[in-house]
Homo-oligomer: A and B are copies of this chain.
Amino acid sequence: MALINENFLKLPESYLFSDIKKKVEAFKHLHPDANIISLGIGDVTRPIAPVVIEALHAAVDEMGDSKTFRGYGPEQGYDFLQKKIIENDYIHRGVDLAPDEIFISDGAKSDIGNIGDILSMQNRVAVTDPVYPVYIDTNVMGGRAGNIAKDGQHWDNIIYIPCTSENNFIPEPPSVRPDIIYLCYPNNPTGTTLSKNELEKWVNYALENETLILFDSAYEAYIHDEGIPHSIYEVKDAKRVAIEFRSFSKTAGFTGLRCGYTVVPKELKLYDTSKKKVNINRLWNRRQTTKFNGTSYIVQRAAEATYSPVGKIQIQESIDYYMRNAGLLKDCLQKAGLQIYGGDNAPYIWVKTPNELSSWKFFDRLLYECHIVGTPGVGFGPSGEGYFRLTAFGRYEDTIESISRIQNWKL
């Protein structure tokens, strides 16, 4: 009798974005003519940069010619892209990596989910709270989360590290020692960052406690201020404790093209149950060569083009466009008397709901009174209650229109 992985049955039916969708559909049914603006789901809206489009056309033509056609590529990605990543994302930050420490994939979400394949089910996992739900859900599937508590929000084997305005969104080491901790900076959903000093504390914690850090830096391109690390490897010895996930999705608008990469340093060692050290780079390589056939060649050429001199300029233009939205939204929300966080080095603005409104109550009011869709903070975890996420990925015109509605809003 073929049996399922029963951990899947533990996952609650409803899911944040589908709940939002249902609410928006109900609203549309009542107000079919309303011009709803979405500042909710974190998808980009700007088209792919011209120089990247050129690279795609050239790569497509290569695939149509028997002299330049490419079949299966390396499962780990082409070295033309691995090398560009090292040169442009790491070397000038003092981080030295080899091409075989960079694994190209179809996106950070795949790698963040699949990394669990190489990790024991016995590991105790910690997350900052609020958090990107994928970190939790993939660990539920992998049997590391335990059971959901009666509150429907906490998993009893996950360690939650609250990040709220009370601690200035700086996670503190938990009382129970985790084997694995997910850190995402610039943070989704709060838009906050960690200074190098704060990140150093976590690397040292991980070194002392033999904790693996899964570092998600999908939003590093939005860092504007000096002194905020773009990569965890800017911190000394981080290679011994951290895997870093990166994506071209938010950096270069690749959400529909699909490309990301994961750095697994050769210095990183974890343990088997006999406490013998195991090289993780080799394990991940084996996982990828067995369960993955590489990222589309033409998409890897597109990613390569983002590192050309013109590519960098064009991509920065889109980031600047989104960050102008962030600045305008932030300014407007502050003038409306709201307490807000993030938005300086991240495309996310984290709003403290006024008058102790719940996240969902604030969602309903913003939808029904301003026709704006955002994301209730509680959807990202229990410590997100009383907060609300807005994204800067909308069109400029929509952001301006949102601002004008919020200005006239009687909160």
Binding site for B on A (CB under 8 A): 1-6, 8-9, 11, 15, 41, 43-48, 50, 53, 56-57, 60-61, 63-66, 69-73, 106-107, 109-110, 113-114, 117-123, 134, 137-138, 141, 179-180, 210-212, 249, 253, 255-258, 270-273, 275, 278, 280, 283, 286-287, 289-299
Q: Who on chain B is nearest to A50 by CB?
A: B64
Q: Chain B residues near A257 (CB, 8 Å)? A: 63, 296-298
Q: Who on chain B is nearest to A292 by CB?
A: B110
Q: Who on chain B is nearest to A282 by CB?
A: B8
A275 engages B137 (CB within 8 Å): no
- Which residue from B118, B134, B270, B290 sits with its C-beta under 8 Å from A134? B290
Q: Chain B residues near A69 (CB, 8 Å)? A: 45-48, 253, 256
Q: Who on chain B is nearest to A63 by CB?
A: B48
Query: What are 21 A-to-B residue pairs whose CB atoms are below 8 Å?
Result: A2-B180, A2-B270, A3-B179, A4-B271, A5-B118, A6-B272, A8-B118, A8-B283, A8-B287, A11-B286, A48-B63, A56-B63, A56-B298, A69-B256, A72-B256, A107-B293, A109-B291, A114-B114, A255-B293, A296-B296, A298-B298
Please tell me how many copies of the chain the complex holds: 2
Beyond the given A2-B210, A5-B120, A5-B121, please list 10 additional residue pairs across the A-B interface where CB-CB is below 8 A: A2-B119, A2-B212, A5-B118, A8-B287, A43-B72, A48-B63, A53-B64, A57-B60, A134-B290, A296-B299
A256 engages B50 (CB within 8 Å): no
Q: Least Cβ distance of A394 to chain B in Å? A: 12
Q: Least Cβ distance of A313 to chain B in Å? A: 16
- Which residue from B63, B107, B293 sits with its C-beta under 8 Å from A47? B63
Q: Who on chain B is nearest to A67 by CB?
A: B47
- Complex alpha-carbon distance, A179 and B110, angstroms: 28
Q: Chain B residues near A8 (CB, 8 Å)? A: 118, 283, 286-287
Given contacts A47-B65, A71-B44, are A141 and B298 in contact (CB under 8 A)? no
Given contacts A60-B56, A257-B297, are A120 and B3 in contact (CB under 8 A)? yes
